[in-house]
Amino acid sequence: MKEKLAKVMYMCVGAFIAFAAYLLGNMNDSINAQPEANLPVLDEIVVRKLRVVNAEGILLSSSIRMLLEGT
């Protein structure tokens, strides 16, 4: 019985620590993990295959390929 109580107490302490970390992490809503102003600009990207889909899941890569090839 003592072992089960000890396990439950450890789980409660862990849950309390996780909840406290969650609260501390969400206190300041203005923090942005990846600010858009500091995004790197790439001159060239080389890939073997690229599939681009829109929000509805429609494949757009053939349209992009035609734009890139100028056809």
Nearest to 68 by CA among 47, 41, 40, 39: 47
- Residue 70 confidence (pLDDT): 61
* Amino acid 69: pLDDT: 65
CB atoms within 10 A of CB 38: 7
Whether 1 has a pLDDT exceeding 70, the answer reads yes
**Which value, in Å, is the radius of gyration of the alpha carbons in the chain?**
25
pLDDT tens for 49-60 read 777 777 887 777
Long-range contacts of residues 19-27, Cβ cutoff 8 Å, at least 24 apart:
none
**Per-residue pLDDT reduced to its tens digit, 5-42:** 999 999 999 999 999 998 887 877 666 666 666 677 77
> Which pLDDT belongs to residue 65?
63
| Domain locations in the chain as residue ranges | 2-28+46-69
CB-based contacts of 60, cutoff 8 Å, min separation 6: 52, 53, 54
